[in-house]
Amino acid sequence: MFKKVLIAEDLGWNTQRIEQQLLETGAEEIVIAEYCDDAYVKYVRAIKDDAPFDLLVADLSFKQDHREQKLNSGDELIAAIRGLHRPLKIIVFSMEERLQRIRMLFDEQKIDAYVFKSRRSLEDMAEALTAVAQHKRYISPQVAAALGSQKNLDIEEYDILLLEEIAKGRSNREISERFKALTIKPHGISSIEKRLSKLRIDFKASNATQLIAVVKDLGLI
Amino acid sequence: MKSNCFSSPFLMLVLLITMGVQAQKPVEKPIDSALYFYEIIVNPDDAQSFRKAEDYYTGMYEQSMARSDYKKAAMYLELIGFGKNQIGDYTASEFNLVKSLELIEPYTDTEAIDLKLRLYNLLGVLYKNLNNYPKSLEYYQKSLAFANSTKDSISFFLRVGNVLREEGEFERAIDTLKYALKLTQKNELEVLKSYILDNLGYTQLTNGDDSGIYNLNKSVDIRKKLGNTTALFSSYRHLTQYYIQIDDTLNALKYVQKALSLTPNIKDPTFELEALSLLAQLDDDPRIKRYNFLNDSIKEANLAKQNKYAALKYDVAREQRQTKLALDERDRQKRLKTIYVLALLLGVLVVMGFSIFLHLKRKQKQLEVIRKTEASISKKVHDGLANDTFQVISELQNLENIPDHILNKLDKIYLETRDISKNHSPLIDGTNFKDQLVSRLNSYKSENFSVIIRNLNGINWEKFSRNKKDAIYMVLGELMTNTRKHSQASVALVSFEQKGKKLAITFKDNGLGNEIKKGNGIQNMEFRIFSLNGTISFEPESGKGLKVQILV
């Protein structure tokens, strides 16, 4: 696993359990920095001493206090460290739940894992450590949508047409024939069935009747 | 014989003009070819070159007017007027000088005042030549107001004295000249003094006061000392004229001989002619007497004719000028009125535009301040309160025997603070709006709650301002938080529709559709939309869910 770990987290006592976890997985040296600037200096010093860190666990938000800092957030710390072009695994451990921001960390800073701070973050952290050690990515389920497809959210005009046909009481076969006649694609029965089952999931409906009730309530048809 | 006292108006004019030139030669600095024309206009020789010079200055005048350089234009008119006076075209001279005066009137700088002074003096001379003494005095008086040296004042009194004498006001003329003489006592102004003494003596003698001889002789002494031949000639002429008047032929002959003896040193032959004609007056030969008589009569007749013609020309010209002036004035008023109306209109537009601009700018600034404040509060709640709550939770988790309901309550507080923070966290700068909005809406999804978006890609988001996008992002976030918290809905639909420059958003959930309490949340949303001049309506329908329509 990881031999030398750097933790950037602004309140010391919070890290006890993580330290414990790391030690259990075989970490030999754990360094804690309460400020981003400190973390950066320690990281650079370790490289100079020819004993670099192989994992960084960083929070994103740091409380501002009287100390003037060059790096004010975990994002900036990670960007600065990535600017040195050294191999390093990074786990972000934060309360940030804006998916856009989380996605940017994965896309632009190439972080390896995102552990969301919650009651079950210890379990998440354990999973994250295992995954990252195997060169895999990890993200806590609460914010997993950050890496999920964005497309499934949008309803298309085709779906509306389909729902209208269902609302008129037509069977899947009838709909297929009508779509074919109107050159609406896709019009194969299996495609229609697939689409309907996706819509049922999206609209949290267990059957076609319920689905129509919901979309009518929403004013979609 | 009496008429002979003034039989040489031409010489008087020469004298006055020479004096005038000394005091008020136009100062327009001539350059290169202009120097040539300047010499011609100041000392005209022949009609052809004078016309050329006149054309040149008329052209310069018109150019200056086209450039709206009225001061320059006035100076060119002065030169033309001066030249016209030199060749004896008084009407044209008057016309140009008066016009020049009109142009320079509004200016008060030194250059302009000098020009005004020169113009007043020229007009004074001109009207004296036109025998319009009151007018002449009027202009001289005006020039006094601008006199800025004793020399100026003395010249002024000298001229006024001469005008008064011509008018026949001998007593007043003598008083004036005496006063001028007194002014010269304190100053070493010998030339002027000699002129005053000459004129004073002559006026006194004309008025029957013999002490004038003394003053004339004093003038002669000064002029001899200065070697001023033409001036000396003038003194001798005055003495000759006086002795002719009192029939003292002997003395008259003595002085006319002296005058004649000076003429070889004077280029201008008119001086010799003048001296000879005086000599002829003293001759007893009846044929010469007859010649003199005829010559005088014809001269006088010619002059009268000339004057009559000039006066006529003057009247017609003035009439034309006045008509033209009236027309010009009417035109000008009309133009001015149009300009005023346009200026007023423009002014109103500018003021309106400016106040709208200021209003928008202030509003922009307010929104900016609100956004920043919100962002900072959101960050403080998130980084401070939420973080601290999480610390407490994790610390409690480390301990044993902590009742689960306490942890649950703390977790609820943690969630609550995160919601507050989330609802007030603005867009991240410089990243794709659509992505951010989708991420935001996506983040409300759970096992029991689905969010459906319709026509997000059909909107040209580039067209909407940062403020608008901000408001949309925040309001939709707040609606989602509300719905998920209170409505027990399983699905929420957000559809977008572009309506010209505006954006229509319909939010709909399938929750309880309870009546909405007018709380902080609603007020926030309304404030955000209203501040963009948009509309937002909440339409809860019991059992069918909540519908919110927004137009921004």
What CATH number does residue B440 fall under? Answer: 3.30.565.10
CATH number at residue A131: 3.40.50.2300
Min Cα separation A29/chain B (Å): 23
Structural domain including A46 reads 4-146
CA distance A4 to A31: 8
When mean pLDDT is compared over B161-165, B190-194, B449-453, the highest value belongs to B449-453
Count of domains for chain B: 2
Q: Is residue B274, in this structure, part of any structural domain at all?
A: no
Mean pLDDT of chain B: 83
Better pLDDT: A80 or B39: A80
| pLDDT score, position B30 | 47
Q: Is residue B534, in this structure, part of any structural domain at all?
A: yes
Q: Is residue B307, in this structure, part of any structural domain at all?
A: no
The pLDDT tens digits of the residues spanning B59-74 come to: 889 998 888 888 889 9
Phi, psi of A5 (to 5 degrees): -120, 135
Q: Which of A173-187, B24-38, B346-360, B462-476 has the lowest mean pLDDT?
A: B24-38
- Inter-chain CB proximity B452 and A14 less than 8 Å: no
CB pairs under 8 A between A and B: 119
- Inter-chain CB proximity B438 and A214 less than 8 Å: no
Question: Among A124, A146, A168, which residue terminates a domain?
Answer: A146
The answer to whether residue B183 scores a pLDDT higher than 90 is no
| pLDDT score, position A51 | 92
Question: Among B117, B146, B175, which residue terminates a domain?
Answer: B146
Residues of chain B in contact with residue A61, where contact means CB-CB under 8 angstroms, are 379, 382-383, 387
Question: Helical H runs in B133-285?
Answer: 133-146, 150-167, 170-186, 190-206, 212-226, 229-245, 249-262, 269-281
pTM flag (> 0.90)? no
- Inter-chain CB proximity B456 and A154 less than 8 Å: yes
Task: Please measure the distance between the N-terminal and C-terminal CA atoms of chain B and give it in whole angstroms.
Answer: 107
A153 — pLDDT class (breaks 50, 70, 90): low
Min Cα separation A50/chain B (Å): 35
A45 plus A142 within the same structural domain: yes
CA distance B56 to B33: 10
Q: Tell whether the torsion through CA atoms of B408, B412, B413 and B418 is positive or negative.
A: positive
Min Cα separation B435/chain A (Å): 7
Residues of chain A in contact with residue B441, where contact means CB-CB under 8 angstroms, are 153
Count of domains for chain A: 2
| pLDDT score, position B6 | 39
Min Cα separation B509/chain A (Å): 6
Question: Among A130, A146, A162, which residue terminates a domain?
Answer: A146
- Inter-chain CB proximity B490 and A214 less than 8 Å: yes
Min Cα separation A11/chain B (Å): 9
Q: Please give the residue of chain B at the shortest CA–CA distance from A117.
A: B390
Task: Let me know if B236 is exposed, middle or buried by CB neighbors in 10 A (0-12, 13-18, 19+).
Answer: buried
- Considering only the beta carbons, identify the residue of A13, A145, A217 that sits closest to B395: A13
The pLDDT tens digits of the residues spanning B520-544 come to: 688 889 988 998 889 999 999 888 8
B13 — pLDDT class (breaks 50, 70, 90): very low
| pLDDT score, position B518 | 72
A75 plus A98 within the same structural domain: yes
Please give the ipTM for the structure prediction: 0.77
Mean pLDDT calculated for residue range B423-449: 83
Own/partner pairs for A14-21, CB < 8 Å, 24+ apart?
Answer: A14/B390, A14/B391, A14/B394, A14/B395, A16/B398, A17/A122, A17/B394, A17/B397, A17/B398, A18/A57, A18/A93, A18/A122, A18/A125, A21/A122, A21/A125, A21/A126, A21/A129
- Would strands B491-499 and B502-509 be described as parallel, antiparallel, or unpaired? antiparallel
- Considering only the beta carbons, identify the residue of B418, B439, B506 that sits closest to A99: B439
Mean pLDDT calculated for residue range B458-469: 88
Structural domain including B16 reads 7-146
Phi, psi of B307 (to 5 degrees): -60, -45
Q: Please give the residue of chain B at the shortest CA–CA distance from A121.
A: B394
- Inter-chain CB proximity B439 and A145 less than 8 Å: yes
CA distance B58 to B536: 75
- Would strands A138-139 and B450-454 be described as parallel, antiparallel, or unpaired? unpaired
A67 plus A134 within the same structural domain: yes
- Inter-chain CB proximity B442 and A150 less than 8 Å: yes
The answer to whether residue B359 scores a pLDDT higher than 60 is yes
Q: Is residue B273, in this structure, part of any structural domain at all?
A: no
Non-local CB neighbours of A205 within 8 Å, separated by 6+ positions: A199, A211, A213, A214
A66 plus A169 within the same structural domain: no
Mean pLDDT calculated for residue range B315-337: 83
Question: Among A97, A116, A146, which residue terminates a domain?
Answer: A146
- Inter-chain CB proximity A145 and B442 less than 8 Å: yes
The answer to whether residue B365 scores a pLDDT higher than 50 is yes
The pLDDT tens digits of the residues spanning B122-177 come to: 888 888 877 788 888 888 888 877 777 777 788 888 888 888 888 888 888 888 88
Residues of chain A in contact with residue B398, where contact means CB-CB under 8 angstroms, are 16-17
Residues of chain B in contact with residue A97, where contact means CB-CB under 8 angstroms, are 418, 422, 443
The answer to whether residue A89 scores a pLDDT higher than 80 is yes
Residues of chain A in contact with residue B407, where contact means CB-CB under 8 angstroms, are 119
Min Cα separation A203/chain B (Å): 6
The answer to whether residue B188 scores a pLDDT higher than 80 is no
Type of residue found at B180: A
Strand partners, B492: B451, B509
Mean pLDDT of chain A: 89
The pLDDT tens digits of the residues spanning A99-152 come to: 888 988 999 999 999 999 888 888 899 999 999 999 999 999 888 877 876 555
Better pLDDT: B352 or B313: B352
A18 plus A113 within the same structural domain: yes
CATH number at residue B17: 1.25.40.10
The pLDDT tens digits of the residues spanning B470-522 come to: 899 999 999 998 898 888 899 999 999 999 889 999 999 998 888 777 776 88
Q: For every residue of chain A, which 3-state class applies, written as one string?
A: CCCEEEEECCCHHHHHHHHHHHHHCCCCEEEEECCHHHHHHHHHHHHHCCCCCCEEEECCECCCCCCCCCCCEHHHHHHHHHCCCCCCEEEEEECCCCHHHHHHHHHHCCCCEEEECCCCHHHHHHHHHHHHHCCCCEECHHHHHHCCCCHHHEECHHHHHHHHHHHCCCCHHHHHHHHHHCCCCCCCHHHHHHHHHHHHHHCCCCCHHHHHHHHHHCCCC
B2 — pLDDT class (breaks 50, 70, 90): very low
CATH number at residue A176: 1.10.10
A38 plus A100 within the same structural domain: yes
Question: Among B146, B177, B200, which residue terminates a domain?
Answer: B146
Mean pLDDT calculated for residue range B205-210: 83
